[in-house]
């Protein structure tokens, strides 16, 4: 079974989270990376690239932050 899309049932079993970054975002300041990662993990259904990895106790949610995610989150932050 592929776990490459948001699934509320699986997400309810998440015990750990990991954040990866698109290589194009390497120059983002660390302070921005902190709030961007938190924002995506707070609303994982909005992440462009999500993957769930099975573990012994549940699942690990892995989000790869994309340029599209960053653009959307900055727009939401500025535009309200």
CA distances from 74 to 10, 16, 33 (A): 28, 25, 12
pLDDT score for 1? 67
Euclidean distance between CA atoms 74 and 37, whole angstroms: 12
Q: What is the pLDDT along the chain (80 residues), one digit of tens a residue?
A: 679 999 999 999 999 999 999 999 999 999 999 999 999 999 999 999 999 999 999 999 999 999 999 999 999 989 86
Question: What 3-state DSSP class applies to 18?
Answer: strand
Q: How much is the pTM?
A: 0.91
For residue 32, what are the contacts with CB-CB under 8 A and spacing of at least 6? Answer: none
């Amino acid at each position: 079974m592929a776990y490459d899309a948001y699934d509320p049932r699986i997400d309810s079993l998440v015990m750990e989270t990991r954040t990866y970054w698109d290589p194009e975002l390497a120059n983002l300041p660390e302070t921005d990376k902190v709030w961007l990662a938190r924002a995506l993990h707070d609303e994982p259904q909005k992440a462009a690239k999500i993957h769930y990895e099975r573990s012994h106790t549940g699942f690990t949610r892995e989000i790869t932050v994309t340029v599209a995610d960053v653009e959307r989150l900055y727009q939401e932050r500025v535009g309200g």
